[in-house]
Amino acid sequence: MKLSEAADAITSRFKEVITATNEFRGELTLTVAPHALREVGKFCHDELNFELLLDISSVDNYDYEPRFEVVYELYSIVDGIHLRLKTTAMENEPSVPSVCDVWPGANWHEREVWDLMGIRFEGHPDLRRIIMWEGYPYHPLRKDFPIEGKLSEVPDGTFSDVAPLGGGPFVTIPASTNAKNREPRARSTEVAVHTEDFPQEP
């Protein structure tokens, strides 16, 4: 089956819930209404041979509604074609249906999106944090979460102070100022960085 044939089958079967179609550089993205996501996914898996779920990711469209997007990368090993499904979630209590019963590999992907972005997957068999500790009150991949971190007084957490940032050209610059002012976005003539703050090569 060709990708165009798969797209035609999906849009014909679910024309009421496919809200957008986008093709760019040979990649096809279908945007699905949130309530129909699992049904569309099951059709892709069972009828169109998209047996492999490569990844689930999320997007924070901060200051816009719907604020969140959840993106599913599907692949058909039989036909050698790739399809992207996308759905949306509103800022107030964002949630979408779980697809764990369709692709068991979605389990940890959904846990990661819940942990870091705060999007709940309804029907997930064990939706708990996978990176941050249980009880951590924030979702660090949201755009309103500062790179320097937030104070946390969670009693069972590993630490309660702001975590120090690692070095590297894309993270921060070593300096005597605070972590917030060392973020890449803060680099300007207003942030004084002195050469003596940098480690010297032998």
pLDDT score at 191: 44
* Mean pLDDT in residue range 34-40: 97
Q: What is the pTM of this model?
A: 0.75
Structure confidence at residue 98 as a pLDDT band (50, 70, 90): very high
pLDDT for the residue 180? 66
Q: Report the SS3 class of residue 81.
A: strand
Q: Is the pLDDT of residue 202 over 80?
A: no
Strand pairing category for 52-60 and 81-89: unpaired
For the four alpha carbons of 105, 48, 87 and 98, in that order, the dihedral sign comes to negative
Q: Specify whether the CB–CB gap between 84 and 28 falls below 8 A.
A: yes
Residue type, 96: V
Amino acid in position 34: P
Domains and CATH numbers, the chain: 3-145 (3.30.460.80)
Residue 109 three-state SS: helix
Q: What is the pLDDT of residues 66-77, one digit of tens each?
A: 999 999 999 999
CB atoms < 10 A from the CB of 20, how many?
A: 9
